[in-house]
Structure 1
Amino acid sequence: MYLLREGASADSESLRASSKWTESEVTSSDTSIKQVYLVAGPKRTPGWLADLNLLADVQAADDDDDGLETRSLGAVVFVQRSDRIVAVTFGTGYHALDPAHIERGFGLRVAANMVAARQIRGVQTRGIASNSRDQKTLLPVDGEFSELNVEVDEDWLRQLSGKSADREFASSLSGSDSLTVSLPDFSFSLIGDKVERVLEVYASKDYEKKFPFLNQVTPVDRSDPVIPSLDALAAEQLRKQDPTVAFAAPDPFEREDPDRYELTCSYDGRFAIADLDTASVFSIIKKLNKKKSPLHDVRVYALDADGNNVDRVHPLKDYVQTEVTHDGTDFLLSAGLWFAIHKDFVKQVNAQIAAIPDLTEELDLPRWKSAELKADSSDKTSEGSYNKLVASQRGYVLLDKDLVYFGPHEKLEISDLLTPDGEMLCVKAASSSATLSHLVAQAVDSSSAWGDPKYQKMLTRAWEEIEGKDAVPLDRGDVTFVLTIATSKAGALSDNLFFFTKVQIASCLKLVTRAGFKVALAKIEMDEIEVKKVARKKKSDGDETAQEDAA
């Protein structure tokens, strides 16, 4: 079952224009059955037929009109109850529904309202704070939600399945955007009454007690009619150079980190920058024709030192990190996707971050001079060069790239720098959510490995470099993990972090402090990145970059 959005119609207007359907006459006396459509897929030759023909001369029967071709069949039944329309689908009929008319999360809410608390079977989640990995988790036997180990603040719960608390409603059910219910004995002549009962369960708020996190973060489907309005608000922010906007790579780079970025403004120029500095990107957007969209008409190329792409070409929208408010709801744009954020969740996370001590003034770390760090040949990365610089200037112990090996496939960098006050600095530039995810993970993993003898051996060696051979060993209560972030954005670090990075830091705070350590933040002031205009790529056959640039 799929619930259609309010305003949708119970007819072919709610089907994909490309679908091939045949309207069937409704013979049921139930007036809530509005329309029935039979949906036929295109004829296809089975993919396995080519392999079979290697073994035999396969021929269709003489009386078989379709020959060796098959087609899929499905159906869509539109049922209207309580002023809402539900599409009940059979077979491949769900493919015919227009995604723009589907009420997202309908099945998930019904399942969350009706599933028995101790008879949950499985979930499907997608990471939104640290990665976009889909993960399906099934319990060997029915159990409680806590047994699934879902990070409720960092993962989007997409699907929930289990036994129904009301066996008359269903014996078991599974919900995501759609709802699937299992009933041992059911006559489809009663489908109208079942739909009405489903809508009653959908309207219930019981799920807020069992799954209070469910509405914290809700992805907005790309087909949602609200997307153009959200894009327009974000584009206005870019045009006005809103200081709350940030730019970050949408995903970890699979091959290598980029040497530089090049941004094209349609036919208004191509510009090179060393990093995704906010002021630099804003200065490029100013050169874009006002009739063009800064979200969709500015293209971003991540390039290696030889000018080769290290990632596919993205519209700038995929790199934008921002928050907007539309019709009283807060939305966040990250990695090209919009998310609806519950106001209470935003307040909760911001309060947790605001409570973390900020050691920026106390540490007074050297400025992150991007051009000088990039030109430094002593390390392949700006981060590595910066850590070496700080260690030599301040007398901190350099631990960057000094790994503890726990086994053939398990290693750990306990921190980047160790100070005489027992502060373990984990250092990263705020160039992407993924980069800052690694920063948070470093602190969490390091704190959890504290008791390992190999970890203690490296820590003791580092501490003795500062305090001497007779030094009193560091106790966990004396240690502060400092999440040290370089950014060119003005203002306090806690005000400049990506929202999902704040979510991760809040989670890190719980885990690390629970283990007996302290957590703090520190900002490194970063130089603005120089913008250089570069020659446009000449369009040539087979030149993907040139073709993308000219598009």
Structure 2
Amino acid sequence: MPRPRSTTTPKTLYRFEGGLDLVDYLVSLTQHDIHENREVRIGEVTGRLVTGRFGSDQPEWAPFIQSITDVAVDLPSALPFAVLLVPMPPWTYAIACGSGHHLLDDQMMEQGFGLMFGIRRLDPDRLGTLARTALDATARHVETSFPGGSDIGGFDLERFGELVNRVGGLADLSGLTYDRDNAKPCRIKTSTSLTVPLARDPRDLLRDLAVIGEIVDRADDDSPLQFIGQIRAVKPGHPRYSELEQRLAEALGGDDRFGPLDVAWPANVVRAADDAYSFAVSGGGGALFAAPLEIGDVLGLLTAVPVEERVAEIARVRVTPCADDAGVEALAAATPLRKWVSFETTIDSVRYCYHHGGWVRIGEGFVEQLHNQVGGLLSRRSALSFPLWTPTGKQNDEHLYCRQAASQLGGIVLDRDLATTPLHKKFELCDLVGPSGEIVHVKWLGGAPAASHLLTQAQVSAESLRFEPEALVEFNRRVAVADPTLVKSDGPTTVVLAAAGRPWNVDRLFSLSQLSLLRLDQRMRRLGLRLEFADIPYVAKRKRSTLAA
């Protein structure tokens, strides 16, 4: 007996803000082989259907194969597509089939639309996949799958400091046509798009879209997955995007009305920036700055640029960390200035952060929650009492201070004494070993990059000592030379972050730095380590001179 035809079929759905002509949601169609591009009736609604194919004379990899084998590859291809646009004010929905998503203007689509559905309807105990990106200098991307399903705890998701991009699993589809005609649970995929069974009947399809819209637009206060939607990427199609770019442009001219601006090191040059003696600027007239690169240097490049051109200017101008004071010996590739800038602003109680050249939205109520948690963490103070740090202006200023501190504390200096393991060629185990065996990392916090470097140094050190036997053996050997009583067979149990230049105060830290702190504390606790903080008394630094261009 033939199997009865299903009343639904899985399709990928996108959502746009309504009110535009339907063709305005599509990219240019002129370069494609279009078969249909016309209005269609879907129940009581007039939509638009576009079908066709993407054609190619040969695959993009054909020249490589020919260059290696001298065999010409003649494999023309065609990728069929269809897009059905359905206006349902105040939204417009798009159903993409085949390669149809390539026709949609991704700058206009509602970011995280599918995730918002998933937060409200996915079963938190039967999730199948989860992909996320770390909001730190590494920009680490991780995707985890459980074919049999898992609760949210199984994914080891760090609720602070990770942007969830995609979630899939079994979902509650009550109210949709699928639920009416099927008793079996359904697996869906959610991201900016939503992959879910949709009705084949036109009127049922309209009802499905209406139900999906109601689900997405309702409050998610009762969902255990609510936290997933609190941090979201902000794309050009976002209704606040133009205002955010305008505020950034004003801040780049030295206007601090809308929030703090600081330097941030791009992920690809973190180590080079820390070793740099100068920073060479290409484009925008060029310049050469002594290390470290400071926000005043950036402002000096932009204050004369018209406000409406500043955001474009930081995309054109490039910065290169150099090993010499002449800006000749490059330590890393030139990187756009937009990746060297961090900015935060608040609109209608929502915090927005510009980081690594893109915007991130931190949800309502989350900033206060974050502030409270970091404030509690920073109250965990070390009992160590540090001497006054008077800057010398020399390249080895930090090392000179570490020697002074070790003498007063009765500790051991390991600053600049680099270790090597199979996983890490060169890294600092710590700057100081305290009188009770504490690992102490010392830094002058001149800005966000220094804080990021300090946290990264602490994390690499802690993980190496816990997971790499060679690191612990080397650490204990160096400690034993100076004071055998401080050697612990299982390694240190306390890590101290000691900072000068600014106090450990939650009001003085960027939101993304606060997220990184919470993530670091989580990792330390998993490693059996206690994280503590110390404020180093200091004399303020004098502004260092700018090198001649």
**TM-score, shorter chain, exceeding 0.5:** yes
CA distance in 1: counterparts of 2:545 and 2:417, whole angstroms? 35
Aligned pairs (5 A) from 1:22-37: 23-26=36-39, 28=41, 30-37=43-50
Matched residue, 1:544: none
Aligned pairs (5 A) from 1:335-484: 335-355=356-376, 356-357=378-379, 362-369=385-392, 371-373=393-395, 376=396, 387-388=402-403, 390-391=405-406, 395-400=410-415, 408-409=422-423, 414-420=429-435, 423-430=438-445, 431=449, 434-442=452-460, 444-445=462-463, 455=472, 458=475, 462=479, 465=482, 471=485, 480-484=494-498
TM-score (ref. length: structure 2):
0.78
Asked if 1 retains the 8 angstrom alpha-carbon contact of 2:113 and 2:193, the reply is: yes
Asked if 1 retains the 8 angstrom alpha-carbon contact of 2:116 and 2:229, the reply is: no
What whole-Å deviation, never above 9, does each CA across 1:180-220 have from its counterpart, x for those lacking one?
1257x955774323222322332343475221312321111
Deviates more, 1:209-218 or 1:310-319: 310-319
CA distance in 1: counterparts of 2:487 and 2:77, whole angstroms? 73
Deviation at 1:87, TM superposition (A): 0.3
CA distance in 2: counterparts of 1:56 and 1:29, whole angstroms? 50
CA distance in 1: counterparts of 2:222 and 2:356, whole angstroms? 28
Secondary structure in 2 aligned to 1:205? coil
CA distance in 2: counterparts of 1:270 and 1:157, whole angstroms? 39
Amino acid at match of 1:133: R
Which of 228, 231, 239 in structure 2 is aligned with 1:214?
A: 228
CA distance in 2: counterparts of 1:285 and 1:359, whole angstroms? 41
Asked if 1 retains the 8 angstrom alpha-carbon contact of 2:370 and 2:515, the reply is: yes
Deviates more, 1:83-92 or 1:288-297: 288-297
Structure 2 residue runs without a partner (length 5+): 1-11, 180-184
CA distance in 2: counterparts of 1:453 and 1:250, whole angstroms? 30
CA distance in 1: counterparts of 2:76 and 2:487, whole angstroms? 75
Asked if 1 retains the 8 angstrom alpha-carbon contact of 2:260 and 2:345, the reply is: no
CA distance in 2: counterparts of 1:86 and 1:340, whole angstroms? 24
Asked if 1 retains the 8 angstrom alpha-carbon contact of 2:169 and 2:187, the reply is: yes
Distance 1:55 1:507, change over 3 A: closer
Matched residue, 2:83: 76
CA distance in 2: counterparts of 1:320 and 1:464, whole angstroms? 43
Distance 1:530 1:413, change over 3 A: closer
Matched residue, 1:259: 277
CA distance in 2: counterparts of 1:241 and 1:491, whole angstroms? 24
Asked if 1 retains the 8 angstrom alpha-carbon contact of 2:249 and 2:308, the reply is: no
Distance 1:171 1:309, change over 3 A: same
Q: How many residues align?
A: 509
Please tell me the root mean square deviation across aligned C-alpha atoms, in Å: 4.0
Matched residue, 2:345: 324
Aligned pairs (5 A) from 1:531-546: 531-532=545-546, 534-535=548-549
Deviation at 1:475, TM superposition (A): 12
Distance 1:362 1:235, change over 3 A: farther
Distance 1:527 1:293, change over 3 A: farther
Deviation at 1:240, TM superposition (A): 3.3
Matched residue, 1:106: 113
Distance 1:290 1:12, change over 3 A: closer
TM-score (ref. length: structure 1):
0.78
Deviation at 1:98, TM superposition (A): 1.3
Deviation at 1:392, TM superposition (A): 5.8
Deviation at 1:310, TM superposition (A): 3.8
Distance 1:79 1:140, change over 3 A: same
CA distance in 1: counterparts of 2:86 and 2:172, whole angstroms? 25
Asked if 1 retains the 8 angstrom alpha-carbon contact of 2:220 and 2:226, the reply is: no
CA distance in 2: counterparts of 1:518 and 1:326, whole angstroms? 33
CA distance in 2: counterparts of 1:199 and 1:343, whole angstroms? 21
Does structure 1 residue 46 correspond to structure 2 residue 63? no
Matched residue, 2:511: 499
Which of 240, 262, 265 in structure 2 is aligned with 1:249?
A: 265
Asked if 2 retains the 8 angstrom alpha-carbon contact of 1:444 and 1:512, the reply is: yes
Matched residue, 1:62: none
CA distance in 2: counterparts of 1:266 and 1:10, whole angstroms? 40
Deviation at 1:96, TM superposition (A): 1.0
CA distance in 1: counterparts of 2:412 and 2:156, whole angstroms? 37
What whole-Å deviation, never above 9, does each CA across 1:271-301 have from its counterpart, x for those lacking one?
4231122344445544x34457444425342
Matched residue, 1:277: 294
Distance 1:178 1:128, change over 3 A: same
Asked if 1 retains the 8 angstrom alpha-carbon contact of 2:417 and 2:428, the reply is: yes
Matched residue, 1:176: 191
Asked if 2 retains the 8 angstrom alpha-carbon contact of 1:42 and 1:72, the reply is: yes
Matched residue, 1:539: none
Deviates more, 1:149-158 or 1:422-431: 422-431
Asked if 2 retains the 8 angstrom alpha-carbon contact of 1:400 and 1:415, the reply is: yes
Deviation at 1:26, TM superposition (A): 4.9
Asked if 2 retains the 8 angstrom alpha-carbon contact of 1:114 and 1:164, the reply is: yes
CA distance in 1: counterparts of 2:428 and 2:323, whole angstroms? 27
Deviation at 1:333, TM superposition (A): 1.2
Asked if 2 retains the 8 angstrom alpha-carbon contact of 1:416 and 1:427, the reply is: yes
Amino acid at match of 1:270: A
Distance 1:333 1:365, change over 3 A: farther
Deviation at 1:511, TM superposition (A): 5.0
Asked if 1 retains the 8 angstrom alpha-carbon contact of 2:137 and 2:266, the reply is: no
Matched residue, 2:167: 160
CA distance in 1: counterparts of 2:305 and 2:249, whole angstroms? 13
Matched residue, 2:5: none
Secondary structure in 1 aligned to 2:216? helix
Matched residue, 1:334: 355
CA distance in 2: counterparts of 1:292 and 1:77, whole angstroms? 37
CA distance in 1: counterparts of 2:545 and 2:375, whole angstroms? 34
Aligned pairs (5 A) from 1:289-308: 289-290=305-306, 293-297=309-313, 299-305=317-323, 307-308=328-329
Secondary structure in 2 aligned to 1:41? strand
Deviation at 1:327, TM superposition (A): 4.1
